[in-house]
Amino acid sequence: MLFSLASLVALYAGSSLAAPAQGYHKPTSKGFRMQHGFETVLVQPFGYDGFRVRAWPFRPPTGHEISFVYDPPLEGPEDGEARGMSFDTAFNGNQSEELRNGNMVVRTSGWAGPGGYRLAFYRVETNGSETLLTNEYAPLKSINPRYYSWTGPGSEFAAEFSFSTTPNEQIYGTGTQQDHLVNKKGMTIDLVNFNTHIPTPVFMSNKGYGFVWNMPSTGRMEFGPLRNKFTTDAATVVDYVIVASSKPGDYDTLQQRLSAITGRGPIPPDWSLGYIQSKLRYENQTEVVLLAQKFQKRQIPVSMIVIDYQSWAHQGDWGLDPRLWPDVAEMSQTVKELTNAEMMASLWPSVEDNSVNYLDMMAQGFLSATRSGPGTTDSWNGSYIRNYDSTNPAARSFLWGTLKKNYFDKGIKNFWIDQADGGSLGEAYENNGQSIYIQSIPFALPDVLYAAGTQRSVGKLYPWAHQQAIEEGLRNATSTKMGTPCDCLSLSRSGYIGSQRFCSMIWSGDTTAVWETLSAQVASGLSAAATGWGWWTLDAGGFQPDPTVPWSGNIDTPEYRELYVRWLQWTTFLPFMRTHGTRACNTQDAYTCANEPWSYGADNTPIIVSYISLRYQLAPYIREVFSQFHNSGRMIMRPLYMDFETSDPQISAWTQENSNTTTQQYMFGPRLLVTPVTKPNVTEWSVYLPRALGDEAKPWTYWWTNETYAGGQTVTVPAPVQHIPLFHLGPRSEIMAGKVFG
């Protein structure tokens, strides 16, 4: 069977995980519809302490528009009843109305020009007073906070929706960007996916509310000093959800509310929590078997071995080249017998005309096209290519059928969804730089056309639907349902709202192998966590050398060896521990240079192996934090504001200033404080130890020396290359036994 967007929601929404709080103020109405002139606004109570708002000019939506939120949410007073487009009250936009759901109130108040009254959202405090969280931004004589425009002759419109904010509001989430920032205040973020850039309009505010801009279109997010603005380039309805916690600083409740709306992460397979070995690239079957033999001989545990791109004969074959991989089933079985490791293979969405699948896919309409020109969306290795259309259910079925025949049935059951960004191949520069063969593509990349719409109207759906293609295929092949524990998984370079509901890791893309890039990944991972993506990882060591740095990526240089060890030891404390990248060396072609634990010199090999071993020792703890994430959306990588904003005023102040303290430190689960070393030639490192409520005098213990420290201070600890600065709360024995809470 295939899963549509609607059926994915239905399959996942089987059980409510949290009963309403005692005395919960249930909504007395299904919602209200406000109409004024050409515009209609529909407001509904949604989940616990939340509202869903949809708005449109002139023509009403069909009710079948693309949505990334569950209706009904996984938890909420709806009791399993979908809201749909229902409402109880209808009125013109020139009167006041209010609706309460739990501790949140929405009210129409304040004239907002020709569009009628503006919406304002309040939290009801325990003493009965109200606190304004945000309202539609409409200062005197300003542009309407709900603004529409038409860029073509059809019914699709562009829109800009504006909401009030304050200069000191802090914004957490928004997907991942390479900007070193945890607090996104002051940022303008384009809603276009490309390599290393996965913008996603889901965020939490330190005021105590969460927000989902539930739109599949391209656009922008702007977080200014007085106005937060969200734009859509092409739409038939504007759709967003806002939820509240009972008080500021309760981010766990916000995550529970947001994940009840957008999806809860499943439990990953136990084997995936170990060490994942990859490089660019293992080029044939013999090399992979020899690699497995080396892991066995050296007695180094490995959980998965990955075959990267260009392992096929042509783009779009979605199968290993038989000239290089003559017996895939035998290879995967041999790897399993030698190491007990699973295997993963890379696939790209692109199809060239020499592929065995091209003519069939063309004939059936399974390839994305363009609104003008020949339909070509990009090029690779001197060939024009077109991407398969992930928004087409039949195209997803074709892709999975090919993967199942060529990989899954032969023992390779995990899939790397590379170049999954949509539009083109997802590079931030035109035409993948194929200047030797092809000079340019003579039309704009947003001109891409899918079964579900244009790149402008549904471009953000593409990576999500690509993850969905693998998810629905794996679930069918393993006879499991959405939301249940995963037997297999995928790895994606991109994602969108609710990607956490899939058995799919998201990684930070093709990063450069320098210290500054390592530092940027910390904030990127924390933003991913705040967006709801618990299944996050990266390329240990960076993906590619920086051409401006002579030693970058070269495994034979002491400078890069130090960077690699620091990067790899940090991955021990990520949701998934993974190495990958193209390496340089002094003896071989760059595509075949080594990237194994023993590749970085005799002095460094024991250090690398010790962290791989520690990862397996921490497996009970890691499994339990994944369980917490599955049950309630409780974040695995926890920025310091999550746990310490209310107990330590410095944390909030530093986050607002984007201090290194809050962009470079985090909790891994509730009990491990991790601070990666992000500079060379370090022998000691300064760490801020947060002040926690109710802690004893010296709650923090340094992992490597067992020395204890009080919270609320910065300490300098020894940090030779063997040691990542790591502190823990409570006895180490409890952590090793998987006891997450002390």
Three-state helix/strand/coil letters over 28-80: CCCCEEEEECCEEEEEEECCCCEEEEEEEECCCCCCCCCCCCCCCCCCCCCCC
Report the first-to-last Cα separation within the chain, whole angstroms.
Answer: 44
Instruction: Choose the final residue of a domain: 632, 665, 689.
Output: 632
Does one domain contain both 234 and 282? Answer: no
Q: Are residues 645 and 599 in the same domain?
A: no
Cβ 720 vs Cβ 681: under 8 Å = no
User: What's the CATH number where 129 sits?
Assistant: 2.60.40.1760
> Residue 129 has which token pair?
């007073």
The CATH number of whichever domain residue 299 belongs to comes to 3.20.20.80
Q: What is the DSSP code string of 676-703?
A: ---SSS-SEEEEEE---TT--SS-EEET
Whether residues 258 and 280 fall in one domain? no
Active site residues: 418, 510
What does DSSP say about strands 342-347 and 304-307: parallel, antiparallel, or unpaired? parallel
Instruction: Average pLDDT across each block of 10 residues of the chain; the chain has 742 residues. List them in order.
Output: 37 40 86 92 97 95 92 93 94 88 92 67 96 93 90 89 96 96 96 94 98 97 98 97 96 98 98 97 96 98 97 97 98 98 97 96 95 81 90 98 98 97 76 53 68 94 98 97 97 98 97 97 98 98 96 98 98 98 84 91 98 98 98 97 93 81 94 98 97 81 97 97 97 96 74
Does any domain span residue 339? yes
Asked whether residue 669 falls in the same domain as residue 557, the answer is no
Confidence at residue 20, expressed as pLDDT on a 0 to 100 scale: 55
pLDDT in tens, 549-572: 999 999 999 999 999 999 999 999
**pLDDT at res. 654:** 83
Are residue 601 and residue 700 in the same domain, yes or no? no
- For residue 262, the surrounding DSSP H or E stretch is helix 251-262
Range of the domain at 598: 270-349+395-429+459-632
| Tokens representing residue 17 in the block | 């995980």
Residues 220 and 291 in one domain: no
pLDDT of residue 6: 42
What Rg value do the Cα atoms of the chain yield, rounded?
25
Q: Classify residue 9: in a domain, yes or no.
A: no
In a domain, 26, yes or no: no
Do 492 and 621 share a domain, yes or no?
A: yes
Residues 496 and 612 in one domain: yes
Is the domain of 689 the same as that of 728? yes
160 located within any domain = yes
Position 8 scores a pLDDT of: 33
Number of domains in the chain: 3
Q: Are residues 674 and 687 in the same domain?
A: yes
Do residues 730 and 671 touch, judged by C-beta distance below 8 A?
Answer: yes
Same domain, 114 and 232: yes
Indicate the pairing of strand 117-124 with strand 666-668.
unpaired
On whether residue 139 sits in a domain, the answer given is yes
In a domain, 11, yes or no: no
Q: Output the pTM of the full model.
A: 0.95
Last residue of a domain, one of 244, 262, 280: 262
